[in-house]
């Protein structure tokens, strides 16, 4: 993984000790590339390879230098995506921490959904401008989270967690995902256009594919009702940012973007200057203490492997 100190954060609070009690961890175990003498030496004896963000591609040559390797445990979304030739890993057990890493993204999205319902950002701007008592029943008559409609685009791992977390609120939840039965989540499945027309808040959780790049464009944004909020914690590519910028400049919509294209935006990008947009620096995923959740998951998976058990999360083909 890279940078190397990422391992210290993931395995902090005693997790490194737990891991060392399970397996022999060489002193030079943390690698940020595979073409060094330390890497060659470590891979020659390695039975389990723990990877994380910034891991370089795992080529057939890398796997050939690890003849004893039997499992890759990834502290991120997909171990298979690290492989340049998936067929070369035949016989290896692949595990990932996609679900633990999806949780903070879902929590962020739900927090932003609720804050959007209260128009917290607009209220903060108004309060700063007036610096006096504000009559909530007059100034914020348009706000609230009782029986508002939230549209979830994509029942990905994050999307499913969002659907689960939203069950505790008095919200009507719509789902657009042509690949799943929305009924299994206890929500109404609808076409994308209907979701955009009916929702007060729309939150994006679709993966980046040929079908989803630019999926939310000017036509879809035009369907949103005045005052609606769009939240994107998926990837910048699924959204037409120029179309969103035009809507934001008109003052008709609000938005929350934790991801952009490019990411980060250049300093002179016009989105920085839009007041009805909340921009955060890709913080929805695991940060700070949440990294230890990934570390705990990895330790738990290694515990199962050492005991001769299969990983709890076993990758089988491409995961959505």
The confidence score (pLDDT) of residue 320 equals 29
Please give the residue that has the higher pLDDT: either 179 or 86.
Answer: 179
pLDDT of the residue at 319: 35
Q: Do domains 6-96+288-306 and 101-279 have the same CATH topology?
A: yes
* Cβ pair 316, 34 in contact under 8 A: no
Q: Give the residue from 143, 153, 268 showing the smallest Cα distance to 203.
A: 153
Residue owning tokens 């076993």: 314
- Chain segment 5-20, per-residue pLDDT in tens: 899 999 999 999 999 9
> Out of 235, 254, 293, 297, which one is annotated catalytic?
235
Q: Where residue 4 falls among pLDDT bands split at 50, 70, 90?
A: confident
Alpha-carbon distance values, 26 to 4, 20, 32, 41, 187 (Å): 14, 9, 15, 10, 49
The strand pair at 254-257 and 188-189 is best described as unpaired
pLDDT of residue 316: 61
- As a whole-number percent, the residues of the chain with pLDDT over 70 amount to 98
Average of pLDDT values for 89-99?
Answer: 93
Domain assignments of the chain as residue spans, ordered by start: 6-96+288-306, 101-279
Rounded Cα gap, residues 307 and 301, in angstroms: 10
- Nearest CA to 67 out of 94, 47, 87, 82 is that of 47
Say which of 164, 252, 282, 320 is annotated catalytic. 282
Does the active-site annotation cover 235?
Answer: yes
- Residue 251: CA count within 13 A, CB half-sphere: 1
pLDDT in tens, 212-241: 999 999 999 999 999 999 999 999 999 999
At 215 the pLDDT is: 98
Q: Does domain 101-279 have CATH number 3.30.70.1400?
A: no
Would the pTM count as exceeding 0.85? yes
When the pLDDT of each residue in the chain is averaged and rounded to a whole number, the result is 94
On the question of pLDDT at 48 being above 90, the answer is yes
Beta bridge partners, 172, equal 149
pLDDT at 188 over 70: yes
Task: Note the pLDDT tens digit of each residue in 107-135.
Answer: 999 999 999 999 999 999 999 999 999 99
Q: What is the pLDDT of residues 262-300, one digit of tens each?
A: 999 999 999 999 999 999 999 999 999 999 999 999 999
Superfamily classification of domain 6-96+288-306: NAD(P)-binding Rossmann-like Domain (3.40.50.720)
Query: By mean pLDDT, which of 32-36, 198-202, 316-320 is the weakest?
Result: 316-320
Write down the pLDDT at residue 196: 98
């Amino acid at each position: 993984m890279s940078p190397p100190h990422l391992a210290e954060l993931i395995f902090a609070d005693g997790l490194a000790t737990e891991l060392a009690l399970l397996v022999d961890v060489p002193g030079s175990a943390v690698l940020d590339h595979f073409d060094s003498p330390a890497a060659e030496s470590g891979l020659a004896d390695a039975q389990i390879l723990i990877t994380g963000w910034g891991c370089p591609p795992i080529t057939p040559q890398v796997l050939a230098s690890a003849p004893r390797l039997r499992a890759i445990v990834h502290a991120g979304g997909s171990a298979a995506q690290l492989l340049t030739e998936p067929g070369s890993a035949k016989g290896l057990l692949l595990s990932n921490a996609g679900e633990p890493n999806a949780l903070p993204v879902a929590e962020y999205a739900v927090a932003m959904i609720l804050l959007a319902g209260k128009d917290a950002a607009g209220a903060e701007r108004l309060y700063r401008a007036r610096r006096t008592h504000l009559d909530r029943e007059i100034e914020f008559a348009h706000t609230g989270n009782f029986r508002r409609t939230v549209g979830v685009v994509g029942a990905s791992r994050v999307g499913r967690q969002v659907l689960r977390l939203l069950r505790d609120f008095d919200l009507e939840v719509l789902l657009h995902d042509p690949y799943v039965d929305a009924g299994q989540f206890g929500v109404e499945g609808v076409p994308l256009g209907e979701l955009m027309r009916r929702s007060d808040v729309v939150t994006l959780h679709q993966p980046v594919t040929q079908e989803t790049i630019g999926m939310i464009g000017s036509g879809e944004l035009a369907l949103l009702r005045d005052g609606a909020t769009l939240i994107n914690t998926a990837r910048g590519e699924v959204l037409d940012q120029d179309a969103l910028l035009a809507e934001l400049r008109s003052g008709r919509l609000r938005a929350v973007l934790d991801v952009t294209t490019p990411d980060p935006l250049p300093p002179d990008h016009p989105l920085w200057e839009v007041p009805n947009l909340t921009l955060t620096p890709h913080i929805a995923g695991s940060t700070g203490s949440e990294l230890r959740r990934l570390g705990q998951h990895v330790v738990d998976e290694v515990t199962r492997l050492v005991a001769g058990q299969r990983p709890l999360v076993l990758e089988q083909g491409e995961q959505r």
